[in-house]
A and B are shown apart, each in its own frame.
Chain A
Amino acid sequence: MEHFDLSLVNWSRAQFALTAMYHWIFVPLTLGLAFIMAFMETLYYKTGDEEWKRITKFWMTLFGINFAIGVATGIILEFEFGTNWSNYSWFVGDIFGAPLAIEGIMAFFMESTFIAVMFFGWNKVSKKFHLISTWLVALGANLSALWILVANAWMQYPAGMNFNPDTARNEMQNFWEVLFSPVAVNKFLHTITSGYVLAALFVIGISAWYLLKGRNILLAKRSIIVASVFGLITSIFLALTGDGSAYQVAQKQPMKLAAMEGLYEGTEGAPLVVVGALTPGKEFNDEKDPFIFRIQIPKLLSFLGYRSGDAFVPGVKDIIEGGYTYTDKNGKQKVALSAEQKIQRGKIAIQALADYRNAKDAGDTAAMEYNRKLLDENFEYFGYGYLNDPKSIIPNVPLTFYSFHIMVALGFLFIAFFALMLYLIYFKGYNINKWLLRLGIIMVPLAYIASQAGWIVAEVGRQPWVIQDILPTVAAVSRIDASAVQVTFFLFFAIFTTLLIAELKIMFTQIKKGPKDGGK
């Protein structure tokens, strides 16, 4: 690690995190609001009630603003791959090529065609065709997310590929294994449902503001009921997929799970921390209590991670020292290697790749064959070869821990909020208390915080890996001038902040104006 320019690595990481997190401000609302609009338009189609049409068109305008400002912000990430992460982009090229190409084609055709019909087609195409277009926009946006998330899931759990030492690329062996890896399925479902919940809270928040102001009452009331039902169903599903994600993390990325829970010493029947404060400066091998205080539920972490209340959950120290028993991806019981042993095997793999290449240049087929075999045997630890200190496999524990707990706590708060909203509407009609309406407005920024916290858990929690166990960030980065990355970091910061301000300004203006043609 000390051989790498850490300022370059850190600036590259910071820049990627900045752009990805800004991009992620826009995406979730698009994913969820598209479906909410489609439901509303379906109600218009079924009832013929013009008010539903007005409501649909209002939310469609806000969808359009968010879509327009957010569209193509993700492209910058692709630029970064080519410049800042050239080793990585070459290394994964073959795996990412297919999903991202499908995403590009699908997004272009689905969205550019049907979004136009959705916005321009009122009274120009049949009601049915318009409705189908709205649904296809919603499906298209979500399917676009699928391919990106499949690519991301592969980085968290590389499957269905084979490393080719001649090309230095991971080549896809089984497309379906990549597409339907358990991590990909869970990641997709959990991520898109987080977008649905955020959109539901967004709709409720704005509607609550209207009710507090005493305007657009019918729009607000109808929007609240649609968003609350949608929000309650999807937030429950979000919790279920969250459980699925935690299970996958326990199986495939035990260090991330340990960081999420601040678990330093592994134990059987591990409890789940509900609330806690970490001890600052805690090292994995010191005697300090990891927590200043904590409230925990006995055995729950073991149950969530391994579906058994008595299962052993390894902590940070166990993963570094090895020696515990785990089940590998083929279902076999194995004894975990220590980080030191993995580093040694990684170094063998890297050396074998270098020797293979030299043997190839020298035309020595016997040496090529020998090194190829050596590389294959050790490839699963390839990335460890770039690390010198076992401690470097520990992600930022406080950031991962607090992000995870904020995300989970807010997730449960959202379920309670949707349920309470529906309960009060059902029993008290729409005479919702002012405090609940105010809470509805507060829920909007909280939804964004939860969404970003989820990104942090997934991406910071897997550090130092860009590709789990195979490629660490230090080896993925291009050896370019750190100051150039620093300059572009601030450039992006300025551009994205301007875009965000522009969106908020246009969005707030439009919300203040309300629906174009009034309404009741």
Chain B
Amino acid sequence: MNLLKKVFNFYYEGFKSMTIGKTLWIIILIKLFVMFAVLKVFFFPNILKRNFKTDEERSKYVIEQLTTKPK
């Protein structure tokens, strides 16, 4: 417990004493939000995961894609 407290304090004090680091953390958080909550969800769905339930269906689809010409 004592160790956990020490580790917590280490990070807490570290973050608290940051100067430029605070700006950087804001940038990182905004960036991660834009990536995971906006881009990933709205612009970059994993189409094989989204459109098919099983790996067998996915492999069948990919084989079809690889062996037929687009219409």
A101 — which chain B residues lie within 8 A by C-beta?
A: none
B5 — which chain A residues lie within 8 A by C-beta?
A: none
Q: A29: shortest Cβ distance to chain B, in Å?
A: 15
Q: Does B63 contact A (CB under 8 A)?
A: yes
Mask, B44-71, CB within 8 Å of A = 1, is: 1111110000010011101101111110
Q: Does A409 contact B (CB under 8 A)?
A: no
Q: Is the CB of B21 within 8 A of A90?
A: no
Interface residues in B3-59 (C-beta closer than 8 Å to A): 10-11, 13-15, 17, 19-21, 23-25, 27-28, 31-32, 34-35, 39-40, 43-49, 55, 58-59
Q: Is the CB of B47 within 8 A of A495?
A: no
Query: How many angstroms from the CA of A91 to the CA of B63 in the assembled complex?
Result: 9
Specify which of A4, A61, A72 is in contact with B70 (CB 8 Å cutoff): A4
Q: Is the CB of A5 within 8 A of B59?
A: no
Q: Is the CB of B43 within 8 A of A491?
A: yes
Contact A68 B34, CB 8 Å, known A83-B47, A120-B14: no
Q: Is the CB of B43 within 8 A of A90?
A: no
Contact A120 B39, CB 8 Å, known A357-B67, A495-B34: no
Q: Does A155 contact B (CB under 8 A)?
A: no
From A142-150, A165-173, A212-220, give the one contacting chain B. Answer: A165-173
Query: How many angstroms from the CA of A357 to the CA of B47 in the assembled complex?
Result: 22
What are some 29 contacts across the A-B interface (CB < 8 A)?
A3-B69, A68-B28, A71-B28, A72-B35, A73-B31, A76-B39, A79-B40, A79-B44, A82-B48, A86-B48, A89-B48, A90-B48, A119-B21, A120-B10, A120-B17, A124-B10, A167-B55, A168-B59, A168-B66, A351-B67, A354-B67, A357-B60, A475-B66, A479-B65, A480-B47, A487-B43, A488-B39, A502-B27, A516-B19
Binding site for A on B (CB under 8 A): 10-11, 13-15, 17, 19-21, 23-25, 27-28, 31-32, 34-35, 39-40, 43-49, 55, 58-60, 62-63, 65-70
